[in-house]
Structure 1
Amino acid sequence: MESIFVCLEFQTDWWQVMTSSFMRNALIGGTLVAIAAGVIGYFVVVRGTAFAAHALAHIGLPGATGAVLLGLPVTLGLAVFCVGGAIVIGALGRRAGDREVATGTVLAFAVGLGLYFSSQATRSSSTMTNVLFGNLLAISPQELIVFAAFLVGVVAVVCAVFRPLLFASVNERVARSRRVPVRALSVLFMVLLGLVVTMSVQVVGTLLLFALVVTPAATAIMLTPRPGRAIALALVLNLLSVWAGLVVATMFSLPPSFCIVTIACTIWLVVRLTGRSRQVQL
């Protein structure tokens, strides 16, 4: 145990590192992802699609490794497979049970395909590591433009369908009886989730994505039953986790993904132990 803490050496030049260009890109990229994850994360929790969110991150794996083989941007490969997988899951998973089966089947095929692509190119080994654990410090200016476009699209669509999407998420059966296009909204939501997962994977990776997309939203729901306030609070918690995580990572030379996830999970645990769950109110 002592050897673990001995490795935590305070970096006296941390402020110089924080003001560098690559760190500025990391802060901007992390902020864009935090906002997108905060907006969509609430619906992930309410709709009970946390497994789908986690699965989509892994479904993007063959897209990333395949993009390396073809010499294409990793973000493009991730987006194609995440959104494509989201459409398949949304279209086939009409009921909760069907959605779980569709998600698991698509996930299994995608992981197998990703391993095959990875075996075909030595360069994909580093790509796979970045996809699994994230690499926020490697975000490029071009990726920031793509992230900004994704964020604008996600926020615009969520604002446009907020009421029917919330209705269908909280009480799907009643929404169907009121002729709300539940299936179309399900597919649309999964597409939005695919875009957010594409962004989030490059911040915390597939293995840690749950803590950025789901955990802050779950924390917010425990603190307030009102959707608008919960989404705003989830967004704030995401921003706090990303910003504080980057600062701590820079001060002690730690992996940013580890710090971001640790902060998000610690906040959730404190609220879980001291608070009470609230019922969602329309």
Structure 2
Amino acid sequence: MVLSADVASPPWSWNLLADFQQMWAYPFMVNAFRAGAIVAVVAAAVGWFVVLRRQTFAAHTVSAVAFPGAAGAVLLGFGAVYGYFTLCVAAALVIAAARGDGEGAESALTGTVQAFLLACGFLFVALYKGLLEGPQTILFGTFLGITTTQVTVLLCAGAAVLAVLALIGRPLLFASVDPRVAAARGVPVRALSTAFLVLLGAATAEASQITGTLLVFALMVIPAATARTITARPGISLLLAVLFSFTATWAGLIAAYYAPYPLGFFVTSFAFSGYVLALGLRALHGALPGRGVAA
């Protein structure tokens, strides 16, 4: 079965059990759900710290350079996954190096590197003479063709990211909330910042393979922003971010299976809908007599 814009998508029968049995009868869909689960958890965990640390511009840059990384790898005859990880982590290290020169220098260098690498990405696409679906997949993501080997790579990389994040989580939280006090108490703020940016690069490279490079930023930020809209309690909001990311990813996979449109669009749309709903509920809660904004 081929799922594309030129072929009719399978019908939704409203028999949920039968629909899921049919969908999961295909190995590529099983792999897609496995990969989606891994990506959702890792992206949400890292994204929660991105929102807390107000580093969304850095996250946007790292996600943007995943595009030239993947395009360049494909042009050179390598798998896109190698380009994702190489350039995402490299961009994270460049941003980390710029942080020592002040916030203004970091923003200027980050924007400059982003613009140059995006231009390189479009050059690589122009030089690439393969099928049109190649660049489209890099930009917007797909669940087609995800192999068991790729799932294993995602699992290993995701486990490594989460293990390091768990190891540095408490001091990173302290350094994110009040970096000056943390530094005064001997917390290695600079080293933690560099380590976190490397984790951000690895998580972005992971998520790009599902959502595409243009929309990975949404999966990284929207679920975390939604969770922090609901509650400011670190533990609860982190768990909510993971739940929202997981739900948006799996719902997007189901929708993309039954509709001939890019997976990244559905994942982003579900995540954004959750954010809008959270904002609405928060506004409603604040408008009730004698009630304040949810903590």
1:26, 1:136 within 8 Å by CA — same for their partners in 2? yes
* Counterpart mapping for 1:47-196 below 5 A: 47-94=53-100, 95-123=102-130, 125-196=132-203
Hey, what's the Cα distance between the residues in 2 that align with 1:171 and 1:96?
Answer: 16
Q: Relative to 1, partners in 2 of residues 1:254 and 1:62: Cα closer, same or farther, differing over 3 Å? A: closer
1:78, 1:198 within 8 Å by CA — same for their partners in 2? yes
- Residue 272 (structure 1) aligned with residue 279 (structure 2): yes
Hey, what's the Cα distance between the residues in 2 that align with 1:219 and 1:64?
Answer: 29
Instruction: Return the TM-score normalized by structure 2.
Output: 0.86
C-alpha deviations, 1:109-166, integer Å up to 9, x for none?
Answer: 2112212222222128533221211112332222111110111111110111111101
Amino acid at match of 1:91: A
- Give secondary structure in 2 for the equivalent of 1:161: helix
Instruction: Return the TM-score normalized by structure 1.
Output: 0.90
Equivalent residue number for residue 37 of structure 2 = 31
- Residue 208 (structure 1) aligned with residue 208 (structure 2): no
- Structure with bigger gyration radius: 2
Q: C-alpha root-mean-square deviation of aligned residues, in Å?
A: 2.1
Q: In percent, how many aligned pairs have the same letter?
A: 38
Equivalent residue number for residue 11 of structure 1 = 12
- Residue 235 (structure 1) aligned with residue 242 (structure 2): yes
Q: Relative to 1, partners in 2 of residues 1:8 and 1:77: Cα closer, same or farther, differing over 3 Å? A: closer
Amino acid at match of 2:174: F
- Give secondary structure in 2 for the equivalent of 1:138: coil
Deviation of 1:187 (Å): 1.0
Deviation of 1:9 (Å): 8.6
- Give secondary structure in 2 for the equivalent of 1:159: helix
C-alpha deviations, 1:12-70, integer Å up to 9, x for none?
Answer: 48441343111001100000000101111110001111121121112122221221122
Hey, what's the Cα distance between the residues in 1 that align with 2:261 and 2:84?
Answer: 26
- Residue 258 (structure 1) aligned with residue 265 (structure 2): yes
Task: Compare 166-175 and 89-98 and name the one that shifted more.
Answer: 89-98
- Give secondary structure in 1 for the equivalent of 2:144: helix
- Residue 22 (structure 1) aligned with residue 28 (structure 2): yes
Equivalent residue number for residue 4 of structure 1 = none
Residue-pair matches, total: 273
Structure 1 residues without counterparts, runs of 5 or longer: 1-6
1:34, 1:239 within 8 Å by CA — same for their partners in 2? yes
Amino acid at match of 1:203: I
Deviation of 1:250 (Å): 2.5
